[in-house]
Amino acid sequence: MDIFKSILVGVDGSNDGYEAMKYGLKIGSLTNAKLTFLYVITEDYIITHYKGIESIEKSRSQVDDFLLLQARTEAIGNDIFDKIKDYILNQKINLGYDLKMRSGNPRAQFVEEINEFHYDLCILGTDSASKSFSTVFGKISEFVIKETRIPVLIVHNT
């Protein structure tokens, strides 16, 4: 009996996210688990929920501009997914995997994904691709640990 049948791996373009991907592939290969790489688009969430586009356009403060520049978009997600596919191909890894995008608050999206699809393990990087993102939204890993009942492996770039 395999201990892990399905593993959720958070990817965001950060070095820690890249390490999470590599750990996911190693563990998946050892356990023959199916992997799901999850990327969360935050662009619309930041615009509509942080202050609203009208407020951001009026203030155009450096914080607002920085958050918008750091927002995760679908295009960034597709680039990350291309890198994952290239890595799997170059390493000749024969493992089932899915690439998923969700939109919204990343903390909530990871918990919803875990609860909806009943993963056996979640692998996340320690830091987000953007330090300001973590400051505004809080650490995704801490939230997932508190709000779910599955093992969560936290990795960081060494």
19 within some domain: yes
Burial of 138 (0-12, 13-18, 19+ CB in 10 A): middle
Q: In the structure, what pLDDT confidence band is assigned to residue 156 with cuts at 50, 70 and 90?
A: confident
63 within some domain: no
53 within some domain: no
Amino acid letter for position 28: G
| 56 or 154, greater pLDDT | 154
Residues 71-92 have pLDDT tens digits of 678 888 899 999 999 999 999 9
CATH value at residue 112: 3.40.50.620
Handedness of CA 37, 109, 14, 8 (dihedral sign): negative
Distance CA 130, CA 119 (A): 26
Amino acid letter for position 98: D
Distance CA 67, CA 73 (A): 12
- 124 phi, psi to nearest 5 deg: -135, 155
Question: Number of structural domains, the chain?
Answer: 1
93 within some domain: yes
> Which of 102, 110, 120, 118 has the alpha carbon at shortest distance from 147?
110
111 within some domain: yes
68 within some domain: no
Domain region containing 107: 6-41+73-155
121 within some domain: yes
Residues 22-44 have pLDDT tens digits of 999 999 999 999 999 999 988 76
- The mean pLDDT value for 134-146 works out to 73
99 within some domain: yes
The pTM score is: 0.83
